[in-house]
Structure formats: C-alpha cells, structure tokens
C-alpha cells in the first residue's frame, strides 16, 4: 500500500489532545467520509480507506451527517411517487 506523508504541526496535535497515530486514523476516516459524500469513492472503497469494514463505515456516516444513500430528497420523493 502506498504511503502518504503529511506534516502536522505539533501544536495541532496538542490542541486536539491526540497523538500522531490516533490523528492519522481519524484523518483517514474523515477523508473517506468526505470523498464518499462527494461521490468520488464508493462506500466499499471509502471503507477500505478508512480501515473499517463496509457495514461499520456505513453506520459511522450518520455521525458526520452524511447519508449512506445517494438519492437526493427530490429523487427519493419521485421514486416514492412512482412506486
């Protein structure tokens, strides 16, 4: 697996009260959630990036206000109306 090095100021870790390893895990999760929300990664690939099983990743999305469903409210309403 390729490695990406990101420099994080020590002050940031102190402010967040996290060590580098826990912050790295959280950063991967946050990136995965955002990339999934933007439609750039599927839920499976986003779960892989986050290091979580897919079902757990989908459950975590709600914590960040992201729906696991890709339909907009309007599309969902139209689907319901057409059912």
* 60 close to 33: Cβ distance less than 8 angstroms: yes
* 50 close to 28: Cβ distance less than 8 angstroms: yes
> With b meaning 16 or more CB within 10 Å and e meaning fewer, what string describes 6-36?
eeeeeeeeeeeebeeeebeeeeebeebbebb
Burial of 57 (0-12, 13-18, 19+ CB in 10 A): buried
For the chain, the domains span: 10-82
Q: What is the pLDDT of residues 15-68, one digit of tens each?
A: 999 999 999 999 999 999 999 999 899 899 999 999 999 999 999 999 999 988
* 8 close to 23: Cβ distance less than 8 angstroms: yes
């Amino acid at each position: 697996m390729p490695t990406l090095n990101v420099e994080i100021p020590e002050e940031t870790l102190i402010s967040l009260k996290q060590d580098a390893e826990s912050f790295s895990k959280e950063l991967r999760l946050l990136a995965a959630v955002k990339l999934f929300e933007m439609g750039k990664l599927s839920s499976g690939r986003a779960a892989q990036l986050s290091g979580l099983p897919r079902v757990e990743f989908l459950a975590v999305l709600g914590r960040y206000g992201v729906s696991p469903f890709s339909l907009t409210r309007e599309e969902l309403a139209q689907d319901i109306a057409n059912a």
